[in-house]
Amino acid sequence: KDTVSVPFGFTEREADGKEQTMQKWVCALEDGYGMGIATDTRAAYDLKDGLLRITALRSPAYADHFGVRDSKIEYTDIGVHAFSLAVAPNCGNTADIYKLSETLLTPLPSITGTYHKGKLSGEGSILTLSADNVAVTAFKPAEDGNGYILRLHEISGKSAECSIKIP
């Protein structure tokens, strides 16, 4: 079986060797053990006989609805491409591979500063969640200007209680 990310969740599929779509990660599990791959931009994989492969590039004809091909036909995925992959040994906990994929998608920003006096700590967080299997998917001002919107997402398929701390 394989477990694969879909928008705001994941699903299980039978490994049949055919190319399948994914969103951010895929995990191949057998008897509770497995291996996963997280990616920042690739969206397809296949799994058969314990071999997990990511589709790096495809070059089908662009918008080939009629099958007419001449010298002006265009193909997708032509040119230089850059992408990142991360291998996750034993990805049985979907929360862990979810976090790994988010790290690839949202690298930490680098902010350079200098020493200055003040009472605040040199580190901090806008908010802290008490549950490891809950992720923040949105934190933004409300469109009407009255308050904020905080959207949370459970990432392991299990129920969770979560308290939110905003300093």
pLDDT in tens, 51-86: 899 999 888 777 767 777 777 788 888 889 999 999
Helices and strands per DSSP (H, E), number in the chain:
1, 12
Tell me: pLDDT of 152 over 80.
Answer: yes
> 34: pLDDT confidence band, cut at 50, 70 and 90?
confident
Question: What number is the average pLDDT over the span 98-125?
Answer: 80
Handedness of CA 107, 166, 94, 140 (dihedral sign): negative
Residue 43 in tokens: 């969206």
32 Ramachandran zone, left/alpha/beta (phi>0; psi -120 to 50)? left
CA distance 98 to 6: 11
> 49: pLDDT confidence band, cut at 50, 70 and 90?
confident
What is the pTM assigned to this prediction? 0.75
